[in-house]
């Protein structure tokens, strides 16, 4: 961190222990000659050490973060805490005149080291400038200062080494995911030899891995005679005609994963009575695009088939329930109570629960008397207003479906449901009949798929991340080597050069730590938990991991992000994944155009955010090769790609489309071949 401390006017947000340590140096005698002014220390907690110390020293303190923005003349804001409200408040700060430093625990340590070095440097300078000092004292002071810098560098290097070991351990854990996955999965190589058959696959088929791995007999658990599995189809690069010859009309291209196929089929050889299996296979490619094998995942949908038939019958019965009631209330009550899904009868005006069936009591753990008269919305996520709006606006004799909504049992356990609401008549009054189907397992598997796409994205960014980490490590190594060589040769290093090298070490340690932290945050699997957020934040985080790639590919980036843009309801981690996919595709498209023209072409990438008629809009534009009408029609199809073999799987755009749709958003494409492409993404704004 390189800051000119002379005459500096700063504000500190966060009064924890690091705040007090920083204040002790800034306000102490060691830096007094620099004329540093601490204008304000802000924290919502008044009994923390930093606030107490600031008051003792006569520094203005406040519990209102907005007071920081109102003060004039501030040069730097040190942010030592991560309250969610801070990001919104600090957006008001004019960053052209005020620098904001976000100091986590490690960066705070680095900043303290910087202050200590500066304090020591000034102390040495004062002694050198005095008349009462000899050469030996100067040499001793220089050795002492050099030793301090070296100790700080070694401490920060040790921290980086720990972070690097953590990253390697994470990579090792990822390699074990397939074996520990709850999803039945097997892998074959490019010679159709089975290499992996996980435990979930053993449980589903009854065949152990040791019986099959190392052979080409992956068909044995499913067929009575040898026939290609879907993974064999991928490795063999069969034509669609050949695939249809084996699978008839039961197969199709995956709607989620590029270059993958999926199908569902009944296998009489599985289990005692046979099983319905939904299976998906996708290619595994080498860096040069060659198919090195294929991975196939299986899902037992036998019970789903039965449930689907029951739900179809249930929907039919529910839609005519109010007409049949007059003829046979006994029949209605039996149907109502014995229905396999929880059913709620809800007042049309107040949305209060009027009646529930026995399945509600079993699934939710409430007694019927505890639910009657309570708002239906209270058993779900009360911050999600989409259900209320949909139910209140439901027309007569119509229905509406809500997917992936969170409900809570009496013991506060959460689970995901699909809710179907019908506008009907019950006991001569207008009511809403709502049925809730538990879809927790499906949501969790979808989350695993999105996580798989995220890990694939990390793979494509690996080179850039390695550079982002290696570059600061190289700077630290060079500075450290130079200092040691000068010391051994007995050459005095000028103070200003020594400060520059020390600052370089501190800056690059902080930079490497930041990259590692962001990669770990991005790779972490997040639960489905929609929150209010500003779309600018995930967009800005994209460039923490893709900054180097954009520079290497000579791409000019223009960010025009509306600082006053309203919030949306989404998940930061997954939105960042969407924009990383769009930016990496733009890089490939612009590189392809440059290769086609065999000349230097201007590469421009722009991202703009704005509000349009109640929608928050993100516009991503590139000057790449563009798309034909046919490509635009197929771009969201799984496994569809226009890239050379091995340079793309199509997974990114397909998953991005699913994430955007999940948050109630839309994505439109405007492109002409040879003239670049524009993606316009819209999400409902939260007022």
Query: Is the model more confident about 673 or about 463?
Result: 673
73-85: average pLDDT: 84
pLDDT above 80 (res 416): yes
561 and 662, same domain (yes or no): yes
434 to 345, 371, 429: CA distances (angstroms) = 7, 14, 15
For 593, other C-beta atoms within 10 Å of its C-beta total 19
pLDDT score, position 560: 94
For residue 495, the surrounding DSSP H or E stretch is helix 495-523
The verdict on residue 481 lying in a domain is: no
pLDDT score, position 621: 94
pLDDT score, position 168: 63
pLDDT score, position 551: 81
pLDDT score, position 41: 93
332-353: average pLDDT: 81
DSSP letters along 155-202, please?
HHHHHHHHHHHHHHHHHHHHHTHHHH-SS-EEEEETTS-EEEE-HHHH
Tally of domains in the chain: 3
Residues 6+ apart with CB under 8 A from 25: 31, 112, 115, 116, 119
pLDDT score, position 505: 77
pLDDT score, position 450: 58
**What b/e sequence results for 494-528 when a residue is b if at least 16 CB atoms lie within 10 Å of its CB, and e otherwise?**
eeeebbebbbbbbbbbbbbbbbbebbeebbeeeeb
659 and 544, same domain (yes or no): yes
3-24: average pLDDT: 89
pLDDT above 80 (res 489): no
Residues 6+ apart with CB under 8 A from 619: 606, 607, 608, 609, 610, 678, 679, 680, 681
541 and 645, same domain (yes or no): yes
The verdict on residue 140 lying in a domain is: no
Lowest mean pLDDT among 102-116, 210-224, 603-617: 102-116
Tokens of 211: 């019986």
Q: Domain boundary at 246, 273, 300, which?
A: 300
Query: Is the model more confident about 460 or about 238?
Result: 238
668 touches 679 (CB < 8 A)? yes
The verdict on residue 138 lying in a domain is: no
674 touches 589 (CB < 8 A)? no
The verdict on residue 39 lying in a domain is: no
pLDDT above 90 (res 617): yes
pLDDT score, position 417: 86
pLDDT score, position 348: 85
CA pair distance 120, 109, nearest whole angstrom: 16
CATH code for the domain of 548: 3.30.565.10
Tokens of 641: 């790609």
558 and 649, same domain (yes or no): yes
116-128: average pLDDT: 81
330 and 408, same domain (yes or no): yes
Question: Of 510, 500, 521, 499, which is closest to residue 108 (Cα–Cα)?
Answer: 510
pLDDT above 50 (res 644): yes
pLDDT score, position 101: 87
For residue 99, the surrounding DSSP H or E stretch is strand 99-102
The verdict on residue 6 lying in a domain is: no
264 and 407, same domain (yes or no): no
Determine the length of the chain. 687
pLDDT above 50 (res 280): yes
336 and 258, same domain (yes or no): no
pLDDT category at 636 given cuts 50, 70, 90 is low
Tokens of 349: 């005006």
Percent of the chain with pLDDT over 90: 23
Q: 214: which DSSP letter?
A: T
pLDDT score, position 171: 45
The verdict on residue 192 lying in a domain is: yes
pLDDT score, position 642: 60
260 and 337, same domain (yes or no): no
Q: Domain boundary at 372, 406, 438, which?
A: 438
pLDDT above 90 (res 497): no
33-51: average pLDDT: 90
Half-sphere exposure of 97 (CA within 13 A, CB side): 9
473-497: average pLDDT: 72
pLDDT score, position 313: 75
pLDDT above 80 (res 610): yes
pLDDT category at 111 given cuts 50, 70, 90 is confident
pLDDT category at 486 given cuts 50, 70, 90 is confident
Residues 6+ apart with CB under 8 A from 31: 5, 25, 115, 118, 119, 122
296 and 378, same domain (yes or no): no
The verdict on residue 652 lying in a domain is: yes
254 and 292, same domain (yes or no): yes
CA pair distance 419, 401, nearest whole angstrom: 6
pLDDT score, position 229: 94
The verdict on residue 277 lying in a domain is: yes
Q: Domain boundary at 266, 300, 334, which?
A: 300
CA pair distance 516, 530, nearest whole angstrom: 25
CATH code for the domain of 372: 3.30.450.20
656 touches 577 (CB < 8 A)? yes
pLDDT score, position 680: 93
Render pLDDT for 503-552 as a digit per residue (tens, 0 to 9).
767 766 766 666 666 566 555 555 556 788 999 998 988 887 777 778 87
365 and 292, same domain (yes or no): no
pLDDT score, position 277: 92
| Angle, helix 440-460 to helix 495-523, in steps of 10 degrees | 150
Q: Which of 344-353, 380-389, 397-406 has the highest mean pLDDT?
A: 344-353
**What b/e sequence results for 611-635 when a residue is b if at least 16 CB atoms lie within 10 Å of its CB, and e otherwise?**
eeeebbbbbbbbbbbbbeeebbeeb
pLDDT score, position 303: 84
288-302: average pLDDT: 86
pLDDT score, position 536: 93
φ and ψ of 298, to 5 deg: -125, 150
Beta bridge partners of 406: 416
Render pLDDT for 154-172 as a digit per residue (tens, 0 to 9).
776 776 676 667 656 654 6
656 touches 681 (CB < 8 A)? no
Render pLDDT for 439-455 as a digit per residue (tens, 0 to 9).
777 776 666 555 555 55
Percent of the chain with pLDDT over 70: 78
**Average pLDDT of every residue of the chain:** 80
Question: Of 5, 41, 2, 45, which is closest to residue 20 (Cα–Cα)?
Answer: 41
422-430: average pLDDT: 75
544 and 661, same domain (yes or no): yes
Q: Domain range for residue 384?
A: 310-438
């Amino acid at each position: 961190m390189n800051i000119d401390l002379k005459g500096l006017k700063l504000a500190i947000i966060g009064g924890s222990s690091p705040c007090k340590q920083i204040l002790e140096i800034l306000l102490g005698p060691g830096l007094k000659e620099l004329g540093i002014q601490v204008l304000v220390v802000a924290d919502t907690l008044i009994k923390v050490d930093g606030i107490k110390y600031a008051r003792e020293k006569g520094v203005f303190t406040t519990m209102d973060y907005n007071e920081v923005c109102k003060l004039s003349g501030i040069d730097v804001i040190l942010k030592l805490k991560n309250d969610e409200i801070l990001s919104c408040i600090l957006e008001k700060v004019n960053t052209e005149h005020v620098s904001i430093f976000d100091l986590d625990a490690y960066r705070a340590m680095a900043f303290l080291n910087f202050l200590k070095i500066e304090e020591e440097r000034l102390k040495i300078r004062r002694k050198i400038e005095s008349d009462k000092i000899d050469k030996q004292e100067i040499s001793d002071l220089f050795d002492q200062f050099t030793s301090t810098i070296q100790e700080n560098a070694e401490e920060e290097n040790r921290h980086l080494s720990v972070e690097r070991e953590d990253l390697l351990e994470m990579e090792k854990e990822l390699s074990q995911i397939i074996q520990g996955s709850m999803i039945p999965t097997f892998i074959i190589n490019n010679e159709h030899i089975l290499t992996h058959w996980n435990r979930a696959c053993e449980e589903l088929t009854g065949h152990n891995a040791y019986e099959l791995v190392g052979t080409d007999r992956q068909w044995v658990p499913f067929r009575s005679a040898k026939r290609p599995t879907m993974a064999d189809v991928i490795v063999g690069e069969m034509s669609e005609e050949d695939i249809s010859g084996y699978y008839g009309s039961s197969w199709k291209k995956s709607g989620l994963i590029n270059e993958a196929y999926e199908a569902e089929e009944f296998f009489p050889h599985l289990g005692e009575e046979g099983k319905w299996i939904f299976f998906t296979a996708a290619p595994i490619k080498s860096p040069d695009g060659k198919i090195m094998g294929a991975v196939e995942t299986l899902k037992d949908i036998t019970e789903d088939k039965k449930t689907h038939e029951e739900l179809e019958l249930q929907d039919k019965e529910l839609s005519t329930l109010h007409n049949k009631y007059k003829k046979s209330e006994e029949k209605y009550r039996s149907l109502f109570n014995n229905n396999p899904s929880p059913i709620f009868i809800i007042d049309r005006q107040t949305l209060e629960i009027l009646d529930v069936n026995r399945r509600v009591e079993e699934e939710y753990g409430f007694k019927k008397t505890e639910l009657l008269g309570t708002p239906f919305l209270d058993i779900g996520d009360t911050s999600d207003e989409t259900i209320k709006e949909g139910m209140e606006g439901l027309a007569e004799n119509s229905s509406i479906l809500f997917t992936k909504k969170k409900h809570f049992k009496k013991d506060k356990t959460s689970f995901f449901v699909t809710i179907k609401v019908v506008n009907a008549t019950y006991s001569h009054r207008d009511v809403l009949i709502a049925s809730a189907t538990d879809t927790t397992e499906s949501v969790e598997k979808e989350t695993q798929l999105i996580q798989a796409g995220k890990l694939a994205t990390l793979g494509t960014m690996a080179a850039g991340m390695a550079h982002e980490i290696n570059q600061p490590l190289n700077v630290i190594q060079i500075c450290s080597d130079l200092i040691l060589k000068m010391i051994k040769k007995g050459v005095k290093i000028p103070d200003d050069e020594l400060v520059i090298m020390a600052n370089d070490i501190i800056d690059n340690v902080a930079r490497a730590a930041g990259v590692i932290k962001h990669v770990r945050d991005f790779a972490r699997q997040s639960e489905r938990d929609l929150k209010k957020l500003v779309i600018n934040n995930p967009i800005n985080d994209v460039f923490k991991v893709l900054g180097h790639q954009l520079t290497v590919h000579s791409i000019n980036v223009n960010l025009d992000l509306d600082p006053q843009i309203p919030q949306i309801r989404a998940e930061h981690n997954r939105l960042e994944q969407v924009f990383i996919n769009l930016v990496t595709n733009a890089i490939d498209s612009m590189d392809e155009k440059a290769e086609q023209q065999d000349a230097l072409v201007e590469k421009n990438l722009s991202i703009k955010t704005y509000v349009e008629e109640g929608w928050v809009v993100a516009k991503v534009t590139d000057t790449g090769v563009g798309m034909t009408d046919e490509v635009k029609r197929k771009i969201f199809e799984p496994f569809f790609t226009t890239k050379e073999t091995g340079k793309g799987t199509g997974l990114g755009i397909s998953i991005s489309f699913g994430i955007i749709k999940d948050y109630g958003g839309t994505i439109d494409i405007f492109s002409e071949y040879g003239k670049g492409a524009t993606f316009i993404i819209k999400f409902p704004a939260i007022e």
